[in-house]
Amino acid sequence: MSETITHHHHIKLPEGSIEKTTTTLNLGPTHPATHGVFQNILELDGERIVSAEQTVGYIHRAFEKLAERRPLYQITTITDRLNYCSSPINNMGWHLTCEKLLGVKTPKRVDYLRIIIMELARISDHLICNSVVGVDSGAYTGFLYVMQYRELIYEIYEEVCGSRLTTNMGRIGGFERNFSNTAFEKIEKFLNEYPAVLKEFENLFNRNRIFMERTIGAGPISAARALNYGFTGPNLRAAGVDYDVRVHTPYSSYDDFEFEIPVGSTGDCYDRFLVRNQEMWQSLSIISQAYKKIQEMKGADAEVYHADAPAYYLPEKKDVYTKMEALIWHFKIIMGETEIPPGEVYQSVEGGNGELGFYLISDGGRTPYRLHFRRPCFIYYQAYSELTKGSMLSDAIIVMSSLNLIAGEMDA
Amino acid sequence: MSLTNETIKARLIEKFGEQVSNFEEPYGMLTFEAPKEMNLKVMQFLFDDTELRFQFLTDLTAVHYPDKAARELAVVYHLHNLVDNVRIRFKVFTDINKPDIFTATQLYSSANWMERETYDFFGVNFVGHPNLKRILNVDEMDYFPLLKQYPLEDQTRIDKDDAMFGR
């Protein structure tokens, strides 16, 4: 019998793997702790990380190629799917880019309405990021507790544009319809109730011994390195650089508002967490200022919700059915017969996780000649191996969630 | 005194003479061009100069112009001086048959992945890059998809039967 059994090597080990003293660990692409589809190949010595190699691109959808065949309005839906935790910021960033190219001036009320929505989006983005940092350090409560307020934010989106996650909100020049009373009521409800929730959320974490020990000193980065790595947004501010697109290159009338730019000093997970929390307070203040400004508007100003730019603003559907003018513009815009000037534009907005830039080249055709997205987390994720080198495996997880990496944005 | 586009232009011309050219200001952003062998020298100067201080690489990408003979590919850098809050756009053009351009990774760590992305989609060969391989597309891919000769799939095609996605 025995001669019939031949010995095969069923497991083929890579060369040198027996002599190797370190362990290779594949973290992801579908590991629950990555919160998105991306992979980290960690080289471990015991529980210490010797090196990390990131692999991205698992959900690459060729957005830049697709955009070259799409008229301007069809690109809004692409931007939804970049940072899907704060889609309205992407939508409005794209519309602002178009407006810059086309020379459309928006009325103040439109700017303020946009700011309300963008700041709500920022809160929902930071809320997810910070509560997930909590989850990864063992505190699930915060995540579950704040989720109902993200839900309220999504209800406001729904009231404004009809959808929740991939919002496709607004038009070039403003919004597709005016905000309903229910929308304002919900915004008011949010403004009234959210401060207490955020306070409680902070109480849960900010001075929590376990949380502090897990996050302080985890994944720190100096200001100089952060700048060299192209960090932007809360991650850069946590390292101590007060760069914020809303202040440096104001768009949508952000210069009408009073707010502070919170900064950290060490750039570690704890500072990133605190900076995001502080930004939520600032966002709340911006929303209430904008809301007040809108309430104070009188007469025709108080009703306007889009710019007077018939050549680019897609008219309301009921007008299309009843008015000749609107029908003509609708047809022209949809068929791509409106004149789009040739030009080269770079417009950026302060997205949920950093400077979201749109580099648009138009050759005068109905679609962009080239559109490039500056996606903040694609750029700063490079620093991950430097951030985690020498730290423990458990720190690697928390660094990943505190960087606010969104696979959709990273992979475009 | 804050840095103006005129000052930047004057400093560049003073340093590089006729090698920097095609100055434009589309939508207020100073845009200029340099020969591709000069890209690192220009960026190093912009980085080191005590007045200019363009030390933040905002964006790096490429554009394909198939009709421009011997300058089909443009590599575009967006640089930012965070102190004076000025942005500029810097371009180098290259022949698509010899798309070799010096890497900016020594100057900016952030250029690493941005250059890999540009290589991945346009085939720009960044000379001196530590790890120039595809990043978003699969390694087996044998073409550079953002070049203009590759059209998107025809949406009206009927030869494809895909019951799962309802074509």
Give the pLDDT confidence of B17-36 residue by residue, as tens digits: 889 989 999 999 999 999 99
Amino acid at A374: R
Sketch out chain B's domains with CATH numbers.
Answer: 5-127 (3.30.460.80)
pTM of the shown model: 0.91
User: How far apart are the C-alpha atoms of B41 and B15, rounded to whole Å?
Assistant: 10
Give the pLDDT confidence of B52-103 residue by residue, as tens digits: 899 999 999 999 999 998 899 999 999 999 999 999 999 999 999 999 999 9
User: How far apart are the C-alpha atoms of A182 and A195, rounded to whole Å?
Assistant: 20
| Total number of residues shown for chain A | 412
Put simply, the answer to whether A343 touches B31 (Cβ < 8 Å) is: no
pLDDT of A157 reads: 93
Point out the residue among A56, A249, A382 whose CB comes nearest to the CB of B136.
Answer: A56
- The verdict on B48 touching A (C-beta cutoff 8 Å) is no
Shortest distance between the Cα of A258 and any Cα of chain B, in A, equals 20
Q: Which residue of B has its CA nearest to A244?
A: B82
Would you state the CATH architecture of domain A55-411?
A: Orthogonal Bundle (1.10)
Identify all chain A residues contacting B63, using CB atoms and an 8 Å cutoff. Answer: 361, 369-370
Identify all chain A residues contacting B109, using CB atoms and an 8 Å cutoff. Answer: 225, 228-230, 382-383
Amino acid at A385: S
The predicted model gives B44-51 an average pLDDT of 91
Sign of CA dihedral A76, A80, A83, A87: positive
| pLDDT tens for the 412 residues of chain A, in order | 455 656 565 677 777 777 888 888 888 788 777 777 888 899 999 889 999 998 888 899 999 999 998 888 889 999 999 999 999 999 999 999 999 999 999 999 999 999 999 999 999 999 999 999 999 888 888 899 899 999 999 999 999 999 999 999 999 999 988 999 999 999 999 999 999 999 999 999 999 999 999 999 888 999 999 999 999 999 999 999 999 999 999 999 999 999 999 999 999 999 999 999 999 999 999 999 999 999 998 888 888 899 888 888 888 888 899 999 999 999 988 887 887 899 999 999 999 999 999 999 999 888 899 999 999 999 999 999 999 998 998 888 899 899 998 888 998 8
User: How far apart are the C-alpha atoms of B134 and B122, rounded to whole Å?
Assistant: 11
Question: Cα–chain-centroid distance for residue A208?
Answer: 27
- The verdict on A164 touching B (C-beta cutoff 8 Å) is no
Put simply, the answer to whether A382 touches B59 (Cβ < 8 Å) is: no
Amino acid at A4: T
User: How far apart are the C-alpha atoms of A337 and A317, rounded to whole Å?
Assistant: 19
pLDDT of A274 reads: 94
The C-alpha angle B142, B145, B148, rounded to 5 degrees, equals 125
Amino acid at A243: Y
Q: Reduced to 3 states, what is the DSSP secondary structure of residue B60?
A: strand
Identify all chain A residues contacting B135, using CB atoms and an 8 Å cutoff. Answer: 56-57
Give the pLDDT confidence of B97-148 residue by residue, as tens digits: 999 999 999 999 999 999 999 999 999 999 999 999 999 999 899 999 999 9
- The verdict on A59 touching B (C-beta cutoff 8 Å) is no
Q: Which residue of B has its CA nearest to A248?
A: B85
Six token digits for residue A408:
């959709």
- The verdict on B145 touching A (C-beta cutoff 8 Å) is yes
User: How far apart are the C-alpha atoms of A358 and A248, rounded to whole Å?
Assistant: 16
pLDDT of B153 reads: 76
Six token digits for residue A305:
């919700």
pLDDT of A8 reads: 60
User: How far apart are the C-alpha atoms of A283 and A244, rounded to whole Å?
Assistant: 13
Identify all chain B residues contacting A369, using CB atoms and an 8 Å cutoff. Answer: 63
User: How far apart are the C-alpha atoms of A108 and A130, rounded to whole Å?
Assistant: 32
CB contacts < 8 A, A to B, total: 88
With beta carbons less than 8 A apart as the criterion, state whether A179 and A160 touch.
yes
pLDDT of A3 reads: 56
Put simply, the answer to whether A357 touches B59 (Cβ < 8 Å) is: yes
A-contacting residues of B 56-85, CB under 8 Å? 56-59, 61, 63-64, 76, 78, 82, 85
User: How far apart are the C-alpha atoms of A194 and A197, rounded to whole Å?
Assistant: 5
With beta carbons less than 8 A apart as the criterion, state whether A91 and A76 touch.
yes
pLDDT of A20 reads: 80
Q: How far apart are the first and last CA of chain B?
A: 61
A-contacting residues of B 96-115, CB under 8 Å? 108-110, 112-114
pLDDT of B159 reads: 73
Query: Is the model's pLDDT at B167 over the cut of 70?
Result: no
User: How far apart are the C-alpha atoms of A70 and A369, rounded to whole Å?
Assistant: 10
Look at residues B97, B124, B82 and name the one whose alpha carbon lies nearest to residue A243. Answer: B82
Six token digits for residue A43:
């080289």
Report the complex ipTM: 0.91
